Structure 1
Amino acid sequence: MSTAFTNIAARSTSWTVLGLLAGLYAAQSVTGSMVQTALPVVLRDAGMPLDQIGYLAVLFLPWALKFLWAPLIDRFLSERTWILLCQLDIILCFLAATALPPQTRMAALACVLLVMGIFAATQDVATDSLAVRASDEDSRGLASGASTAGAYLGFLIGGGLWLVVYQHAGWAVSMASMAGFVCLLTIPVFLSGGLAGPPANSVSTGRRIGFRMTVKNHTLMRGLVFLVVYQVGLRMGSSLTGPYLVDKGIALDTIGLLRGAGGAVAGLVAASLGALVVQAAGIVRSIVIAALLNALLLAALAGVEFAGSVSPTVAVGILLLQVGAVAFSFVALYAAMMNWCNPDQTATDFAALQSIDAILAIAASSIAGVLGKSFGYGWLFCVSAAFILAAILIAPRMLAAPAQGRRPTVPEKVLES
């Protein structure tokens, strides 16, 4: 009987952790999705050129530089403390942004969004560290799936419903509603005392925490080669989908519903299915399947553009499928990234990987803007698909399984109160 109760308690704890991870990733993705997807739609509707919209990805810079302060999360305080502090600051930034509409106060708004991005990126580092420590190699697919599903919930709010609120209630109300959303998702974390024990540090492990250890992690460095090639293609192919819909003549509130409700539903379903596929088929095989799907869908979008006579409805349908393929891809890729991390410095290693990914996003978005303006969307989608196919070719070598026994299981104290 005691064994049965222990198993029930363990399953309950696991679902609690997965639910909290989903909520935390939802909160942090509100900021990124608004800057990366919703704000470009608003500015394109106001007449801003594609190449200038592409440069707005610079506001994503905190995610690219978060590796600089990630070792602090490994060394000091607990993940829960870092998360609560960052959530409070994000709420305050959203409230400050209510007085800064982009049409007239873009410079001041950019500064506030940049500061908010720093807090969101720091929360991301702490949450990533918690996700790695609260899972083992057998459950990474589920943890990654919960995280990705939460991110798409945030995308639903920040990249979709936010546009609808903005369209009908104005800038100030839309920013205040985002502050309220983050506040609601902070309450469960505030009530969950003892969510995680203090992170591993150099005193307890006897090892140095820092980027020198990251560079010496051969499994991580091989995976990084694949990450660069693959994400360049994926980010280029996805970065201008909002302006693409505007140029197809679709209204802002319709884009909000398509990219918000439609995109979030597609992402949530794909993330859930992706978690099951990763658990059943393995991480590397799942990454290759996801890459093939993304390459095929980007090639289909290129075909739509080159055909010239295909209705916007067909293009929208392909884009929704691609949203699902991207979500599936993130589940598999993030599960792999968790396995690449050194358990003694999970925040540092995962932040380094995601910072490189963010740098790729900035570069790919800027390049996509230039390619889209100079050669059209068709060639942009073709080039993106080509990069993804190249990544598939190098996947077997770069994503080879690490040596047995390299990575111990997660410490039992992760969930102790």
Structure 2
Amino acid sequence: MQTGQLRTVGAIGGVYIAQSVLGGLTWTGLPGVLRAQELPLDRIGLVSLIVLPWALKFLWAPAIERVRLPCYGRDRSADIVGTGIAIVVAALFAVGFVGPVPMLAVLGVLLFAATATATVDIAVDGYAVARLSATRYGWGNAAQVGGAYVGSAIGGGVFLILVDLFGWMIGTWSMAVLIALICLPFVFLARTDRIAAERSHVPSLGAALRRSEVRAGLLIAALYVIAQKTAMGMFGPFFIDAGYSLIELGLLSGIGSLTLGLAGALAGGAIVRRFGSRPVLVGAVVAQAGLLGVLALAAGSDVVSAVAVAPLALVATGAIMAVGFVALYAQFMAWSDPRQGGVDFTLFQCMDAAISMISGVAAGLIAERFGYGIFFALALGISLATIPLILRAAAPGPDAARA
């Protein structure tokens, strides 16, 4: 890979890390903190509503792409990303003042921050699709998925450790400062490499949905997320109830993301290149189903200890999901039209976010009503049921991730 491409990959990787810091704080860090405050599971499940902007960002993606890529003029990715990150940093400083409770106030501010982050993501994805076409998207996809796991380790691991040691305010403000610093390279790079151009294509949702690759990708995204993410939001509360402290949960989550999760992201590209995306997706679902089976036993019987299962669950799930999402996102990036990459890729991510939000809220309700054992067993059954559907949905589509 050439030096210019390496700089681009590093810069976009920084933004992907920053986005996932907020995601890790929301999905892993905040539920653990709230459970430590003894909030009920059905209320903790409401945290999934913060994903709403990620599920709906397809509504404003065409407008953002038209601003980013005007009919004539320079690429405005740097302006969009700089403004969005400034909003996120300000929101996190406000959350630090508010505290983890009252919960609704925190959720409201984080929802605002998530909207800004989702908008930033539209611009960065579009920029990556256009700038990294010569690399076959492999490096960009590694930066995307690997950055997500590094960010999740920080937001879901380091954040919890800081909160446990120094309190909510210091933990939240530290995340805000980190996000600002790691996004600066992208803003500088995107601002310096802008070239004025004339563009005839007008980005739109209609242009995306008319393409068969986009329609197939939306179905595969829904099935895969149902299989992989339904139970994720309950991992933290389950292990808090099993006796783990916030700092212990943070260490396990961080180790899982920074070691096996990051390794899985880096190795995922090579595995997909060798075997193709379809078998890798199915293999990841099978592995996740096995893990859910172990959790169901730990929660519903004395056969396996929940305390003993925690390291396996929190560390191994990082590698499993990393490999699977490398396959999924490599396919999505290859299916996106470079003339409106921010729109096409956003549609795939919105399906991911919508299903994650719905399944997360449902997970809290089911676990609170029926207990962890039945919940994890149900999640296992759902994962297994999606396998034949994923095989069928993925079969007709082009296997671009092999290229």
TM-score with structure 2 setting the length: 0.90
Corresponding position: 1:35 with 2:30: no
CA distance in 2, matches of 1:258, 1:294: 18
Structure 1 residues 214, 118: CA separation in 2 closer, same or farther (over 3 Å shift)?
same
Correspondence for 2:352 = 357
Could you say what secondary structure the match of 1:102 adopts? coil
Give the alignment partner of residue 220 of structure 1, picking from 214, 229, 235: 214
Aligned with residue 146 of structure 1, among 143, 148, 169? 143
Contact 1:300 1:318 in 2 (8 A): no
Give the aligned partner of residue 164 of structure 1.
Answer: 161
Amino acid at match of 1:119: A
The CA deviation at 1:282 is 2.1
**Equivalent residue, structure 1, for 2:96:** 98
Tell me the equivalent position of 2:71: none
Kept in 2, the 8 Å contact 1:275–1:331? The answer is yes
Matched, 1:310 2:304: yes
1:46–1:399 Cα change, 3 Å: same
Partner of 1:13: 4
Match of residue 124, structure 2, among 123, 127, 132: 127
Partner of 2:265 in structure 1?
271
The Cα shift of 1:39 comes to 0.7
- Conserved? CA contact 1:137–1:339, under 8 Å: no
Deviation at 1:403, TM superposition (A): 6.2
Write the distance in 2 (CA, Å) between the matches of 1:365 and 1:355: 15
Q: For residue 11 of structure 1, report the CA deviation from its aligned partner.
A: 2.2
Aligned to 1:337: 332
Q: How does 1:231-270 map to 2 (within 5 A)?
A: 231-270=225-264
- The corresponding residue for 2:82 is 84
Q: Secondary structure of the equivalent of 1:47?
A: coil
Measured against aligned partners, the alpha-carbon deviations of 1:290-335 in whole angstroms (never above 9, x if no partner) come to: 2222222222222333332422343113312122101111111111
State whether structure 2 residue 375 is matched by structure 1 residue 377: no
Deviation at 1:51, TM superposition (A): 1.0
Q: Once the 2 structures are TM-superposed, how far is the Cα of residue 167 of structure 1 from its aligned partner? A: 1.1
Cα distance, 1:250 vs structure 2: 0.6
Give the CA deviation at 1:97.
2.1
SS at match of 2:98: coil
Cα gap change, 1:330/1:293 in structure 2, threshold over 3 Å: closer, same or farther? same
- Whether the aligned pair in 1 keeps the contact of 2:8 and 2:189 (CA below 8 Å) is no
Aligned to 1:175: 172
Cα deviation code 1:155-195 (max 9, x no counterpart): 12111111111111112211221121012112212331456
Give TM-score, length-normalised by structure 1: 0.87
**Which amino acid letter does the alignment assign opposite residue 94 of structure 1?**
L
1:142 and 1:279 in contact (8 A); partners too: no
Count matched residues. 394
Aligned partner of 2:66 in structure 1 is 75
Instruction: Confirm or deny: 8 A CA contact 2:55 2:351 kept in the other structure.
Output: yes
d(CA) in 1 for partners of 2:193 and 2:380? Answer: 41
Structure 2 match to 1:415: none
**Letter in structure 2 aligned against 1:252:** L
Select 2:183's aligned residue among 158, 182, 186.
186
Does the CA contact (< 8 Å) of 2:159 and 2:171 recur in 1?
A: yes
Q: Check conservation: 1:291, 1:388, Cα contact below 8 A.
A: yes
In the alignment, is the contact (CA less than 8 A) between 2:223 and 2:390 conserved in 1? no
User: 1: distance between equivalents of 2:223 and 2:203?
Assistant: 28
Q: Indicate the residue corresponding to 1:6 in structure 2.
A: none
- Aligned mates of 2:267, 2:307 — CA distance in 1: 25
Q: Mark the CA change 1:199 to 1:43 in structure 2 (over 3 Å): closer, same or farther.
A: farther
Q: Secondary structure at the match of 1:98?
A: helix
Q: C-alpha offsets along residues 119-167 of structure 1, whole Å, 9 cap, x if unaligned?
A: 1111111122122223349733432222111111111211111111111
Distance 2:280 2:210 in 1: 27
SS in 2 for 1:55: helix
Aligned-pair CA distance for 1:236: 1.0
Deviation, structure 1 residue 228: 1.4
Distance 1:127 1:307 in 2: 46
1:99 aligned counterpart, secondary structure: helix
- Residue in 2 that maps onto 1:3: none
Q: What do you get for the CA RMSD once the two structures are aligned?
A: 2.5
CA distance in 1, matches of 2:388, 2:192: 41
8 Å CA contact 1:135, 1:143 repeated in 2: yes
Counterpart of 1:216, as a letter, is R
The answer as to whether partners of 2:65 and 2:342 remain within 8 angstroms in 1 is yes
Bigger drift between 231-240 and 73-82 goes to: 73-82
Mapped pair 1:53 → 2:44:
yes
Find the residue that maps to 2:97 and give its secondary structure: coil
1:221 shift after superposition: 1.0
Q: CA deviation at 1:196?
A: 5.8
- Matched letter for residue 237 of structure 2: P
d(CA) in 2 for partners of 1:251 and 1:284?
Answer: 39
Matched, 1:294 2:285: no
Contact 2:286 2:384 in 1 (8 A): yes
Amino acid paired to 2:120: Q
Q: Which consecutive unaligned segments of at least 5 residues does structure 2 have?
A: 69-75
- Mean CA deviation greater in 90-99 or 390-399: 390-399
Partners of 2:64 and 2:123 within 8 A in 1: yes
Tell me if structure 2 keeps the 8 A contact 1:79–1:196: no
Contact between 1:138 and 1:279, CA under 8 Å: does it hold in 2? no
